[in-house]
Amino acid sequence: MTGNLAQDWPVYVLLGAVAFFFIYIIVKSNLQDRKNKKIQKKEQNQNE
């Protein structure tokens, strides 16, 4: 980190990619949890 944007841009690109990757995984796991909960509720209703 020299403070010179021309030299530091790969660092920022990597940081952005890592941040995007983490957000993507978190969002994806949350969506899967919601789908699984809906499926579980449907199964519980059928069992009753």
Q: Supply the pLDDT for residue 11.
A: 92
User: 8 and 2 in contact (C-beta within 8 Å)?
Assistant: yes
Residue 40 lies in a domain: yes
Residue 39 lies in a domain: yes
User: 23 and 13 in contact (C-beta within 8 Å)?
Assistant: no
Domain of 38 in residue numbering reads as 16-48
Q: Supply the pLDDT for residue 2.
A: 64
Q: Supply the pLDDT for residue 43.
A: 73
Sequential DSSP letters for 19-30? HHHHHHHHHHHH
Task: Encode pLDDT of 1-48 as tens digits.
Answer: 567 778 888 999 999 999 999 999 999 998 888 777 777 777 777 776
Residue 24 lies in a domain: yes
pTM of the model: 0.56
Domain count, the chain: 1
